[in-house]
Amino acid sequence: MDSLPLDPPAPMAADGRPRRAILYRMALPDHLCPSGQKARFLLRRRGYDIEDHLLRTREEVDALKARLGVSTTPQVFIGGERIGGYSDMRQHFGIARDPKATTYRPVIAVFVVAALMGMATSWQAFGTPLTATALAWFISFSMCILAILKLQNVETFSTMFLNYDLLARAWVPYAYIYPFAEAAAGVLMAAGILPMVSIPLALLIGGIGAVSVFKAVYIDRRQLKCACVGGGANVPLGFVSLTENLFMVGMALWMAARLVWPAIPG
């Protein structure tokens, strides 16, 4: 390891930027470092020629760490300068995202996938993706997916949920019941069965949720995270959270209206 070329001259591109990178990554018989693979892929996307050094034994890994005074691999060098690991490289390229920053990405992902599922199911059933039933399936599928995310860790979800839900703050068990109620309402609505159960259930959880979010965000002006995709996400509590609950209420009212007036399109 003493002869490793840690600081060789780097060829320069026409714009003056180094286009050669040196990468040291772990490639043990029983473990190929995922961060090393990501670093290699990112360097290639950025147009760098890579001198790829595979550390194939634990002794080579430990020797590199000792020589550089670091505790992790991979390690990347560009232009003779040590950039660091994969996360350091993302910061170097200006593409790193603050892990504590709030984002609507998880909710958007759920809604987009649920919408595509609704249209795909409508296409299979009716030969067209754009039907009133496709919209109903979109909402019910969204409820099911969101419930799955909450059910992964009900304890964590309930802790975040108790920050703003009015019924949960008055009766703690509701925070544990909610994900199961949401899943049940979504499944029953998707199947179009037991409307006398699914309609009041959706009205209850959607109505209380909408009022709770509106009060927390627009009346109390609190800056909170939404528990809608589980307790570990950084989704801000706000308009999207309110819309999610209003969708449930709207779905329940539409189903109730169809029970009274069967001629309503569905």
pLDDT tens digits, one per residue of 235-257: 888 888 888 899 899 989 988 88
Mean pLDDT along residues 134-146 = 94
What is the per-residue pLDDT for 266? 55
In a domain, 11, yes or no: no
User: Do 231 and 263 meet the contact criterion of CB atoms below 8 Å apart?
Assistant: no
Residue 9 pLDDT exceeds 70: no
Mean pLDDT along residues 139-158 = 94
* Joined tokens for residue 67: 């020589």
Residue 97 pLDDT grade (very low, low, confident, very high; cuts 50, 70, 90)? confident
Question: Domain boundary at 33, 67, 92, which?
Answer: 92
Domain containing residue 35:
20-92
Quick one: 86 and 122 in the same domain? no
Strand partners, 18: 12
In a domain, 161, yes or no: yes
Residue 112 pLDDT exceeds 80: yes
Quick one: 80 and 143 in the same domain? no
Quick one: 142 and 78 in the same domain? no
Quick one: 28 and 127 in the same domain? no
Tally of domains within the chain: 2
Quick one: 40 and 117 in the same domain? no
In a domain, 215, yes or no: yes
What is the per-residue pLDDT for 240? 82
Out of 31-40, 71-80, 108-117, 230-239, least confident range? 230-239
* Joined tokens for residue 165: 């839900």
In a domain, 146, yes or no: yes
The CATH number covering residue 84 comes to 3.40.30.10
Quick one: 51 and 181 in the same domain? no
Mean pLDDT along residues 61-79 = 93
Quick one: 114 and 232 in the same domain? yes
Q: Please report how the helices 154-161 and 173-191 are oriented relative to each other, as an axis angle in degrees rounded to 10.
A: 110
Quick one: 111 and 44 in the same domain? no
Mean pLDDT along residues 59-80 = 92
